[in-house]
Chain A
């Protein structure tokens, strides 16, 4: 039986997965475009650049984890179906942090990675600095993920 609570919980799942996924797609896209240009000149840099290209991809995974955790709790993959609207809204709220922090951090990280790609193109030996710069942004996605996770698991 589908009630409004179930709808909101699933809306939350959609938010978590869709927004963080959108951000990651955008981020990986930006970084990979920059990467492809460099690889055209020097295919040997592919390995080093791959890391930078993949970094904005993690946000999508965090969204997926939160989405799956909700599904495990609301009777889609396990657990009990949501009983009332308030609980459904709680799940929806729980999904918002990773949805938004994931979306914006992945996009910003994509841009940092793209500049990082240029850095690696000019000075391959400094690639670890480019990677660390990108990880500065990742923290905020992680914070959103932690809060989402804690909320979802405690409802």
Chain B
């Protein structure tokens, strides 16, 4: 139960074995390989290989995106990736060629289908805009026939022959012929014909009424013929579009192959990434990395057996930035994720998880605090976390919520809450009201003040634990004086404050006196020691007095635990409101159906919102109130070089 003990593994070998050794390390998946370039060694440049692999991978993932809708959906939280033997994890050149061809065909098909779709849309638009001219029996774009000028175009608004004649008559023009081809309320298509001699008089009139020629040339065919031709072309394109889809569907059966290919490339990419970290000289290479002690002792003889290398395990220096991993029992390990989300421990830190786990479950339960919700959480997350519905790595969070569920159920029983006051409501509405779920500890709504005091008291315990941990850490590092002054006095002061307050509240004089003595004594200690880094004696005293000001931040932190009460109340009261709403239908069949419907919907909503609240605020209490007091953080996470893949799991 602690932070895993790491050793530094150093390997020196001959260049001809370098690649094989790195592959071997990748299969073992236990070494977090450091960058030898940082130690001033030369290394092999692999950036070009990696960028090439990146290109292949991005095409492959593009192809997979295209194929996804056509194959049975895999994925989601319950999808367990298939296992595959790691023996042939490198892609063969035949496979490489085959899959690359497949991938580029898929991408080409998609591009072609996109183009088809665009072309179809543009042809259809043309067909639509030819619609007003379909009566016309000469090609659009015809300008002259002999000495006759022809103008075809549209006018804004609805025109009839009378209106058009009026315009020409107003301009005193008689020698013009026109036909209205089609009209609707927005535009009118017209055909106008006039002799060359009349052009000078007619054209200004046509410009005046804004006759616009359509931007289409029907290349020697009548509009009707031309749109028939376009329709035929559209039909052909549509067929091509559909054929493309059929072909993509066929190719989708190969999706698994592409996924495997992608995984293999990503493994190779990781290998080359690591190869770049290996230091080389003319004939030899040097690898260093961190490895958990136990794994290292197993790996070392294997290395020496299989390779001609010199390998040794070295105890890292205190100052070295060793990557960190946690090792805890089943009760504690689920919360490791919460800690690593905050920060990995520094070399000075102790593993905070064992202490934190207990408080985490405890506070979560206090805030969610309903036996019904707790049971649901326990059953669902218990199945997900401890069953085999999911991959191992994904189960951890559910294990955590299982323990949270246990605690929630416990607090629900303490507060007498089972889906709020559902039992009492059901009994009152549909029975004689004799049954109710009596709280063991207290009913939060009846005794909110006691609950508030209890919450703050638990907060004090939490914070005192944090200060005690800090005390232990400083003491262990050898600075015993600082441990007593910086943590010890504060511990006594806060504890004294609690004893004093408890004595006052309960009216016990002795406690009050003891508390007061502890308060004054520790405050004096703080005043005398907190300014010890100052040189000037007056500043020493001043620094000491000023340090007492920190009491406000401690009190603020402790009061922050009032959220334990507020969120606990929120769950219970909202649940009760839902029950009240549900029971409004009264004691009848309809009332019962309404009760069930409202309960299911309402409690589901309350469950979701309050679980979110409990989760968020438990995290906050751990991060802000607890970790701030002693946990330094800032460590690096242990990320062993191995098989990190997306679609398959490679097993040795």
List the interface of chain A (C-beta within 8 A of B): 51, 54-55, 57-58, 61-62, 64-65, 68-69, 77, 128-129, 131-132, 134-136, 138-139, 142-143, 145-146, 149-150, 153
Tell me if B609 and A149 are in contact (CB < 8 A). Answer: no
Task: Determine whether the beta carbon of A128 is less than 8 Å from that of B609.
Answer: no
Binds A, one of B126-134, B250-258, B611-619: B611-619
Which residues from A are CB-within-8-Å of B562? 142-143, 146
Report Cα–Cα, A65/B623, bound state, in Å: 28
Which of A64, A135, A143, A150 interacts with B616 by CB under 8 Å? A135
Given contacts A65-B569, A69-B573, A142-B567, contact A153 B448 (CB under 8 A): yes
Q: List A contacts of B172 (CB < 8 A).
A: none
B560 closest partner in A (C-beta)? A139
Closest CB in chain A relative to B240 CB, distance in Å: 30
Asked if B620 contacts A149 (CB within 8 A), the reply is no
Give the complex CA separation of A146 and B617 in angstroms: 16
A-B pairs with beta carbons under 8 Å apart, 21 shown:
A51-B616, A57-B609, A61-B570, A62-B570, A64-B574, A65-B570, A65-B574, A128-B338, A129-B342, A132-B623, A134-B616, A135-B616, A135-B619, A136-B620, A138-B617, A139-B563, A142-B566, A146-B566, A149-B569, A150-B452, A153-B445
Residues of chain B with a CB closer than 8 A to A54's CB? 609, 612
Chain A CB within 10 A, most for which of B338, B448, B620: B620
Determine whether the beta carbon of A128 is less than 8 Å from that of B445: no
- CB B478 to nearest CB in A, in angstroms, measures 33
Is B577 interfacial (CB-CB < 8 Å)? Answer: yes
Closest 8 pairs (CB-CB, A-B):
A128-B341, A135-B620, A142-B566, A65-B573, A142-B563, A135-B616, A68-B577, A132-B620
When the two chains form their complex, are residues A131 and B616 in contact, meaning their CB atoms are under 8 A apart? yes
Pick from B338, B448, B580, B613: contact of A150, CB under 8 Å: B448
Are B560's CB and A61's CB within 8 A? no
B612 near A77 with CB under 8 A, answer no
Q: Which residues of A contact B617 (CB under 8 A)?
A: 135, 138
Q: Can you name the residue of chain A whose Cβ is closest to the Cβ of B565?
A: A146
Chain A CB within 8 A of B624 CB? yes
Alpha-carbon separation in the docked complex, A64 to B609 (Å): 14
Interface majority SS (helix, strand, loop, mixed), chain A: helix
Other contacts beyond A61-B609, A142-B566, A153-B448: 5, CB < 8 A:
A54-B612, A77-B580, A128-B338, A129-B341, A150-B448
Q: Shortest distance in angstroms between A69's beta carbon and chain B's nearest beta carbon?
A: 7
B449 contacts partner chain A, Cβ-Cβ < 8 Å? yes
Give Cα A143 to B559, complex, Å.
9
Contacting residues, chain A, for B448 (C-beta < 8 A):
149-150, 153
With both beta carbons as reference points, the residue of chain A lying nearest to B445 in the complex is identified as A153
> Which residues of the partner chain B approach A69 to less than 8 Å between Cβ atoms?
573
Contacts of B623 in A (CB 8 A): 132
Distance in Å: Cβ of A109 to nearest Cβ of chain B: 11
- B residues 555-610 near A (Cβ < 8 Å) are 560, 562-563, 565-567, 569-570, 573-574, 577, 580, 609
**Known contacts A146-B452, A149-B448, A153-B445; A55/B566 CB under 8 A:** no
Complex CA–CA separation, A142 to B574 (angstroms)? 15
Question: Chain A residues near B565 (CB, 8 Å)?
Answer: 146
Question: How long is the Cα–Cα vector from A68 to B566 in the complex, in angstroms?
Answer: 15
Q: How far is B612's CA from A149's CA once the two chains are assembled, in angstroms? A: 22
A62 CB to nearest B CB, Å? 7
B573 touches A55 (CB 8 A): no
Alpha-carbon separation in the docked complex, A145 to B580 (Å): 21
Q: Is the CB of B567 within 8 A of A68?
A: no
A129: chain B residues at CB < 8 Å are 341-342
Tell which of A55, A62, A136, A142 has the most Cβ of chain B within 10 Å.
A142
List the B residue with the shortest CB-CB distance to A127.
B341
What residues on A are CB-neighbors of B342 within 8 Å? Answer: 128-129
A-chain residues with CB within 8 Å of residue B624 when the two chains form the complex: 132, 136
Cα separation A62 to B567 with both chains bound (whole Å): 9
- Give Cα A77–Cα B445 distance, bound, in whole angstroms: 16
Residue of A nearest to B447 (CB): A153
Residues from chain A with Cβ under 8 Å of B567 in the complex: 142
Complex CA distance for A131 and B342, rounded to whole angstroms: 11
> In angstroms, how far is the closest chain B Cβ from the Cβ of A154?
8
Taking the closest CB of chain A, its distance from the CB of B57, in whole angstroms, is 18
Docked CA distance A125–B3 (Å): 22
A3 and B563 alpha carbons, distance in the complex (Å) = 36
In the assembled complex, the Cα of A77 lies from the Cα of B581 at a distance in Å of 10
B415 smallest CB distance to A (angstroms) = 15
Residues on A with C-beta less than 8 A from B569 are 65, 149
Q: Interface 1/0s, chain B 354-392, versus A by CB < 8 A?
A: 000000000000000000000000000000000000000
Query: B574: which A residues are within 8 A, CB to CB?
Result: 61, 64-65
Task: Give the shortest distance, in Å, between A9 (CB) and chain B (any CB).
Answer: 18
Separation of A54 and B624 alpha carbons in the complex (Å)? 21
- Chain A residues near B445 (CB, 8 Å)? 153
Distance A63 CA – B313 CA, assembled complex (angstroms)? 61
What's the nearest-Cβ distance from chain A to residue B458, in Å? 15
Q: Which of B570, B577, B612, B619 contacts A132 (CB 8 A)?
A: B619
Which residue in chain B gives the minimum CB-CB distance to A153?
B448
Q: In residues 605-642 of chain B, which contact A (Cβ within 8 Å)?
A: 609, 612-613, 616-617, 619-620, 623-624
Across the interface, do B619 and A128 meet the contact criterion of CB distance under 8 Å? yes
A153 and B445 alpha carbons, distance in the complex (Å):
8
**Closest A residue to B446 using CB positions:** A153
Question: How far apart are B524's CB and chain A's nearest CB, in angstroms?
Answer: 33
Write the nearest CB–CB distance from B566 to chain A, whole angstroms: 4
Residues of B with C-beta under 8 A to A62: 566, 570
